[in-house]
Amino acid sequence: MNLQDFFTENPKCAIAFSGGVDSAYLLYVGKKYGADIQAYYVRTPFQPNFEYADALTLCDKMNINLKTIEYDVLSERIIADNPQNRCYYCKKSLFSQLTEQSQKDGYNLIIDGTNASDNADDRPGMKALEELSVRSPLRECGLTKDKIRELSRKAGLFVWNKPAYACLAARIPTGTHITKELLNRVEHSEDRLMSMGFSDFRVRVFDNCARLQMKENQFIQAAEQRKCISEKLRPYFDAVFLDMEVR
C-alpha cells in the first residue's frame, strides 16, 4: 500500500498535527490526494510555543484550518507524577481529547505521523495509539524518516530538515513531579540557546541544574561560549553542565 491507496480507502479523517516534518508531510499528501482531512493540534504545557507557531504556519501555507484543543495535561495526576510509563498515559489522554472533539466534528478515523523508523519498543505511547485505533499511514506504507525528509524537501515544506523534537516533559527525570514552572524554565533556556545559534539539542533537568545534550559538532561552540551560556541560563538553573555524550 502507498499513501495514495490509503487516502483513497480512507477519504475522510482527522490528523493529530504537531508542526513536525512527519505530520506535515502526511497532511500535505492527504490534501494532495483529495481527502477530507481535518488537522487538530492538542495544545498543552508540554509543547513549546515554536511548535505551535510552525503548525499554524504550515496550515496557513496549505490553506487548511487548524483546530486547536487547549488541554491542561498536568491536571492528570498520573502524568504530572511522571512515572516510567508517563508517555503511555499522556498519549492516551491527549488522543482521547482529540477523539472526542473529532467525532463531534464528524471525523471517526484519526491518523498520526508515526513513521517506519519509529521503534515501538522505545515508545510506550504507541501502545496507547493502538488501543485507541489510531492509524499511522507513514508507518503502514514503510516510509522512513529519511525518506519523509527527502519527499518533504521536494514538496517545498519548510520543515523538511527540522530536527526531531521530543516534548518538554522528556527533559525531566522519571519520578520528578512535573510542573508548569519547571517546563517554562526548560523552554526559556532552550529558546535562549536557539537564539545563540544552537540547534538539535536538549536542556535536561538534573537536580536544579541544566544538563546540555547536543551534537558533537556543537561542543566547541558551547565551550567557546560557556560564559554566555551560563549567564543566559542562570535565571532558570543553579548551574549548567555540558554532557559529553553525543546526543
What are the per-10-residue average pLDDT scores of the chain (247 residues)?
96 96 97 97 96 96 96 97 95 96 97 87 77 94 96 96 91 97 97 94 94 93 94 96 79
Q: Where are the domains of the chain?
A: 3-155, 179-242
| Domain 3-155 matches domain 179-242 at the CATH topology level | no
Spatial neighbors of 142 by CB under 8 A, at least 6 apart, are 116
The CA–CA distances, whole Å, from 86 to 95, 198, 202, 203 equal 14, 28, 19, 19
Give the pLDDT confidence score for residue 247 in this predicted structure: 59
pTM: 0.92
Give the pLDDT confidence score for residue 120 in this predicted structure: 62
Q: What is the CATH number of domain 3-155?
A: 3.40.50.620
CA 235 to chain centre: 26
Phi, then psi, of 154 in degrees rounded to 5: -65, -30
Contact 62, 88 (CB under 8 A): no
Give the pLDDT confidence score for residue 245 in this predicted structure: 77
Angle at 21 between CA 17 and CA 26, to 5 degrees: 60
- Of 181, 223, 175, 231, nearest to 198 by C-alpha is 223
Fold (CATH) for 179-242:
GMP Synthetase; Chain A, domain 3 (3.30.300)
- Give the Cα separation of 5 and 228 in Å (integer): 52
- Give the Cα separation of 204 and 172 in Å (integer): 6
Which element (helix H / strand E) includes 79? helix 77-80
Spatial neighbors of 14 by CB under 8 A, at least 6 apart, are 37, 38, 39, 40, 98, 102, 105, 107, 109, 110, 111
- Of 8, 5, 42, 10, nearest to 23 by C-alpha is 42
Contact 200, 247 (CB under 8 A): yes
CA dihedral angle for residue 114, residue 117, residue 120, residue 123, rounded to 10 degrees: -70
**Long-range CB pairs of 60-63, under 8 A, 24+ apart, other chains included:** 61/158, 62/27, 62/28, 62/31
3 state SS of 177: coil
Distance from the first to the final alpha carbon of the chain: 34
- Give the Cα separation of 170 and 116 in Å (integer): 22
